[in-house]
Amino acid sequence: MRLEYPANIKVIRVPCTGKVDVIHLLKAIEKGADGAYIVGCMEGECLYTNGNFRAKKRMLQAQKVLDSVGMGGQRVQMYNLSSAEGPKFAAYARDMVEKIHELGPNPMKLAKEGKAA
Amino acid sequence: MIVASPKPIEEVINTVKDCKKLLILGCNECVTVCEAGGKKEVGILASALRMYFAKQGQQILIEERTLERQCDHEYLEEIRDIADTYDAILSLACGVGVQFTAEKYLSTVVLPGVNTCFLGATEERGLWTERCQACGSCVLASTGGICPVSRCAKRVLNGPCGGSTKGKCEISKEVDCAWQLIVDRLTALGKMDEYEQIAPLKDWSTDRAGGPRKVAKEDVQS
């Protein structure tokens, strides 16, 4: 399809979104990523039954933790699509980049540069 | 096992905010099983605190360590060389672990990172319920294996009381009446004759009423 999606996204492959844990999302933000999002299978379509539901719960927990320390929980998100939906993958990538642009840069990056709030 | 729940992050931040170097110390036993203070929770809390203090422009070095247990000398000795290099140790163990760590490392502040709740069982992942209050004088033999001390709101030993309705306790429709459970169980076991026997006054001196308790097993002592 030769679809294009924003080049500032780094894809990390996992065997199932059920492998993604709260600490993975937090570490991404702690290390300076402006945002981190999970792209999982459609709800109800998980090969392992509930991997994507587990990922969703963990993403929500990561959001809570980030909100509680003033980092902005919205920096982590989750999207669902089927493996045949390339255009949706690209659309979600653009949507996430847009959300992150609205939130601004990760405060951790500013802190490292000595510009903390 | 001992069941604990994480303290709110705001409370933890408030207790550690004056530190320059902090060790978050997890425990591999009960608090790992109840997902409150194991290696994973240590990592999450450390990450959250690093982000918070970095955003505040506050320099705090936060390190992570998880011991096999914090209620045994041999495992606590593992941090002997490093304990006094920290301004504080934030222990995610139960109250026993926090105190034992504090008793061992007198020059370092030891802070609790979890609230210790009760002795309980894992009903399902993410759900723990109380089963024992460590009263020191077990009555389970005569109550069908269901504890009236921990599961009856009134700790009634000859129940049920008048607050039992349709198998539920008067404190909440969500809470089973322990004595209803006991009667059901004794009926199923064909042991209702035991229910008819009046329980004698319980010796509460083995509970907290007798002050801090001690168990000594001389045959294994060195």
Q: Output the domain CATH number for residue B87.
A: 3.40.50
Q: Is residue A117 over pLDDT 60?
A: no
| Interchain CB contact of B48 with A (< 8 Å) | yes
Query: Does residue B144 share a domain with residue B85?
Result: no
Residue by residue, DSSP assigns B21-70 as EEEEEEESSHHHHTTSSSHHHHHHHHHHHHHHHHHTT---EEEEEEES-S
Same domain assignment for residues B110 and B9: yes
Pairing status of strand B21-27 against strand B127-132? unpaired
Note the ipTM here.
Answer: 0.92
The whole-number pLDDT of residue A16 equals: 96
Mean pLDDT of A78-91: 95
B166/B97 same-domain check = no
Does residue B171 sit in the same domain as residue B98? no
Do B97 and B29 lie in one domain? The reply is yes
Q: Do B97 and B139 belong to one domain? A: no
Inform me whether the C-beta atom of residue B55 falls under 8 Å from chain A C-beta atoms: yes
Please name the residues between 37 and 76 in chain A that touch chain B, using a CB distance below 8 Å: 65-66, 68-71
Question: What distance in Å separates the CA atoms of residue B189 and residue B191, rounded to the nearest whole number?
Answer: 5
CB A107 within 8 A of CB A71: yes
Which of the four pLDDT bands, split at 50, 70 and 90, describes residue A113?
Answer: confident
Write the DSSP symbol of residue A42. P
Positions of chain B with pLDDT under 50: none
pLDDT bracket for residue A116 (50, 70, 90) = low
pLDDT digits (tens, 9 = 90+) for A1-33: 789 999 999 999 999 999 999 999 999 999 999
Say yes or no: B17 and B102 in one domain: yes
- Please report whether residue B182 resides in a domain: yes
- Name the residue range of residue B165's domain: 135-202
Other CB atoms within 10 A of residue B201 CB: 6
Q: Do B142 and B94 share a structural domain? A: no
Edge to edge, the sheet with strand B127-132 lists B2-6, B114-124, B127-132
Number of domains in chain B: 2
If one counts every other C-beta atom within 10 angstroms of the C-beta of residue B58, the result is: 14
Residue A111 pLDDT: 82
In this structure, the answer to whether residues B113 and B143 fall within a common structural domain is no
Predicted local distance difference test score (pLDDT) of residue B210: 83
The verdict on residue B62 lying in a domain is yes
One domain, residues B34 and B100:
yes
- Domain positions in chain A are 17-112
My answer on whether B52 and B91 are in the same domain is yes
- B210 occurs within a structural domain: no
Of A34, A33, A51, the closest CA to residue A42 belongs to A51
pLDDT for A115 beyond 70 = no
If DSSP codes are grouped into helix, strand and coil, which group holds residue A55?
helix
Average pLDDT, chain A: 94
Mean per-residue pLDDT of chain B: 96
Substitution target from A23, A31, A54, A60 for chain B, most B beta carbons within 10 A = A23
Confidence check: pLDDT of A114 > 90: no
Asked if A112's CB is within 8 angstroms of B48's CB, the reply is: no
- Across the interface, whether the CB atoms of B55 and A29 are under 8 A apart is answered no
